[in-house]
Structure 1
Amino acid sequence: MPTHAITRRVLSAAIALLASSAALAADYPEKTITLVVPFSAGGPTDVVARILGQAMAKSLKQSIIVENALGAGGTLAAGRIARATPDGYTLLLHHNGMATSTTLYRKLAFNPMTDFEYIGQVADVPMVLMARKDLAANTLPELIAMIKSKKDAMTLGHAGLGAVSHQCGMLFLSAIGVPLTTVPYKGTAPALSDMLGGQIDLLCDQTTQTTSYIRTNRVKVYGATTKTRIPSLPALPTLAEQGMAGFEMYVWHGMYAPKGTPPAVVARIGTALREALNDPNVKARFAELGAEPVSDAKATPEGLRTHLKAEIDKWGPIYKKNGAFAD
């Protein structure tokens, strides 16, 4: 067959594909969209998802339901989305765990860099280091001294191997050079509940879940994990300004669709995402929780892809150095 004939066929196929994608986008969405969250209801990521889902539903003129699908540090939900029908009706909201799973899990049923369509980054959430209200240490130096003298008697809770609370705790213990007994939970909500009840001593958690407890003095808080102070908690110093130079840890969120979702549908969801992040009500609700919507440039497929790759490169060596692996 002549080369020009093959070229015409390829071009015709490409045009047909674009036309089909455009047609899907024109009709999308025609039914309820499911936004899957790999963590427990009421937890930090769930809170972000529900605020975001309500705003995106207005833009898309269609209902968005949030579904909590727990298990294996978020990898079960991510694997499910990777295998879902690529029509834009099943989406995933995941946090840092999408990046750390590549090192943490020896057998992973998906590849974060190849098995998804990226919608965009969503929001950055600060974390805080805190303790049960009756812990004797009142300042960060006092806490570090207590940990060093009573390390065998103190406990640090987290939401499971690979969770952001686990990452944060690991960075803190690595920075002070002291190991502690860690207690894994199925989410930070039960970990926080146990800390409030005095069953564990320490927890590193997101402001979306802890701000109200900090403001009402129900926990003892030692510092923020960000470079600068959190606007919603201006009196709280950062760990870095208290002598832990370079300490930085925050939770970032990304939205994903199954690989093969039509480009026009991905673009339509992306537009709704950016509109939601610029909604004054969303900004206000996020601000109350200490969360910050990302810029329009980050709330794009390329913005998420670039950040995900950078996070994989950052956390891989840290996990390997500490020998942190799941089965």
Structure 2
Amino acid sequence: MKRMLMVAAAAALTATGALAQDFPSKPVTFVVPFAAGGPTDKVARDLAEAMRKPLNGQIIVENVAGAGGTLGATKVAKASPDGYTLLVYHIGMATSPALYRNLQYKPLEDFEFVGLVNEVPMTLIGRPSLPAKNYAELSKWLSDNKGKVNLANAGLGAASHLCGLLFQSMTKTEMVTVPYKGTGPAMTDLIGGQVDIMCDQTTNTTGQIEGGKVKAYAVTTTKRLSTPALKNLPTLDESGLKGFDVSIWHGVYAPKGTPKPVLDKLNAALKAALKDGEFIKREEALGAVVVTDDRTSPAGHKKFVEGEINKWGPVIKAAGTYAD
């Protein structure tokens, strides 16, 4: 019996090795859990192009939108663990456990982590008619108008929603949260003066700041940004909110049980893509920063996501924000 088990184990290892050696023998699918045309979709399509050559295979993108990204994530969690179905997801990977009561997967248990891709900074902006000229004046204005300030966001679980929750928590300021169905209508009302402030990704705010359509008060990263339109903006950390650090990031995930040799191939292709000059250029055009540290490794990526889950869980639960 013992000999039979040893033979079976050796056969399994041989099969796994052969699978990895032949991988990929057919197109790999990137599942994007949002509609086509959005920031995550753009990142996934650029990444697919950059990974195609080092992976020596075709990568196609499939959009599976719905339920704040959780439908697409659930599809990948339940997919065959062979490396051919991958998930490209943003910060929702870390916030969904606290946001959704009936989540069909566990981020840290139901996925293999391939690596982190990028980070997108955020900015705190206000309507053009807001009297505050800088963050110090904004802070006083918020304090003087507790309970009256309208804080816009693009919907439950959106980057602007999460940033707004943390901002309220760290400033201990009550605001009237105004959710919209997307960044577009939220930005339109901010420019029109129907709402007061919003915290959103540089991908959505830089053009409005450059055009003078909104007032910009601070960036949410711990270091100032080098982007010409944003380089003079202080950070919230230096403005008094010590430790305030919010970026919207994107990572790549495979179903739990995907063989390590296959994951190694995928990670090697990812790391090669992150050094690709054209990919870096495209990400910079989106206002994103390509990750170059240990978080591009499976272990580093998983440790980072675990930290993000621990960071956002208490903030979301304290706000009493849930979805079924």
Say whether the fold is shared (TM-score over 0.5).
yes
Please name the residue that 1:286 is paired with: 283
Q: Compare 16-25 and 88-97 and name the one that shifted more.
A: 16-25
Asked if 1:249 corresponds to 2:249, the answer is: no
Provide the rounded CA distance (Å) in 1 between the counterparts of 2:46 and 2:113. Answer: 20
- Deviation for aligned residue 1:214: 2.6
Please name the residue that 2:136 is paired with: 141
Query: 1:27-46 counterparts in 2 under 5 A?
Result: 27-46=22-41
Provide the rounded CA distance (Å) in 1 between the counterparts of 2:175 and 2:281. Answer: 38
Q: Which of 85, 93, 97 pairs up with 2:88?
A: 93
Asked if 1:307 corresponds to 2:304, the answer is: yes
1:44–1:206: 8 Å Cα contact kept in structure 2?
no
Task: Say how many residue pairs are matched.
Answer: 322
Q: Compare 113-122 and 11-20 and name the one that shifted more.
A: 11-20
1:36-90 CA-to-partner distances (Å, cap 9, x unmatched) read: 2223433332332222222112322433333333322222221111112223222
Does the C-alpha gap of structure 1 residues 43 and 135 become closer, same or farther in structure 2, counting only changes over 3 Å? farther
2:165–2:316: 8 Å Cα contact kept in structure 1?
no
Please name the residue that 2:156 is paired with: 161
Q: Which of 65, 68, 90 pairs up with 1:70?
A: 65
1:241-267 CA-to-partner distances (Å, cap 9, x unmatched) read: 222222221122221111222322222
Please name the residue that 1:124 is paired with: 119
Matched-pair identity in %? 50
Q: Compare 308-317 and 224-233 and name the one that shifted more.
A: 308-317
Provide the rounded CA distance (Å) in 1 between the counterparts of 2:249 and 2:90. Answer: 5
- Deviation for aligned residue 1:20: 1.8
> Could you say what the CA RMSD is over the residues aligned between the two structures, in angstroms?
2.3
Q: Structure 1: any 5+ residue segments left out of the alignment?
A: none
Provide the rounded CA distance (Å) in 2 between the counterparts of 1:197 and 1:82. Answer: 42
- Deviation for aligned residue 1:22: 2.5
Please name the residue that 2:262 is paired with: 265
1:42–1:189: 8 Å Cα contact kept in structure 2?
no
2:93–2:107: 8 Å Cα contact kept in structure 1?
yes
Asked if 1:178 corresponds to 2:185, the answer is: no
Does the C-alpha gap of structure 1 residues 47 and 135 become closer, same or farther in structure 2, counting only changes over 3 Å? farther
Asked if 1:222 corresponds to 2:217, the answer is: yes
Please state whether the residue corresponding to 1:241 is helix, strand or coil: coil
1:43–1:188: 8 Å Cα contact kept in structure 2?
no
Q: Compare 276-285 and 66-75 and name the one that shifted more.
A: 66-75
Does the C-alpha gap of structure 1 residues 254 and 139 become closer, same or farther in structure 2, counting only changes over 3 Å? same
Please name the residue that 2:76 is paired with: 81
Please state whether the residue corresponding to 2:137 is helix, strand or coil: helix
Does the C-alpha gap of structure 1 residues 179 and 143 become closer, same or farther in structure 2, counting only changes over 3 Å? same
Q: Structure 2: any 5+ residue segments left out of the alignment?
A: none
Please name the residue that 1:19 is paired with: 14
1:240–1:247: 8 Å Cα contact kept in structure 2?
yes
Q: Which of 247, 270, 274 pairs up with 1:277?
A: 274
Code of the residue aligned with 2:123 in structure 1: it is: V
Q: Compare 251-260 and 289-298 and name the one that shifted more.
A: 289-298
Does the C-alpha gap of structure 1 residues 150 and 67 become closer, same or farther in structure 2, counting only changes over 3 Å? farther
Please state whether the residue corresponding to 1:109 is helix, strand or coil: coil
Q: Compare 249-258 and 142-151 and name the one that shifted more.
A: 142-151
Provide the rounded CA distance (Å) in 2 between the counterparts of 1:296 and 1:25. Answer: 26
Does the C-alpha gap of structure 1 residues 10 and 199 become closer, same or farther in structure 2, counting only changes over 3 Å? farther
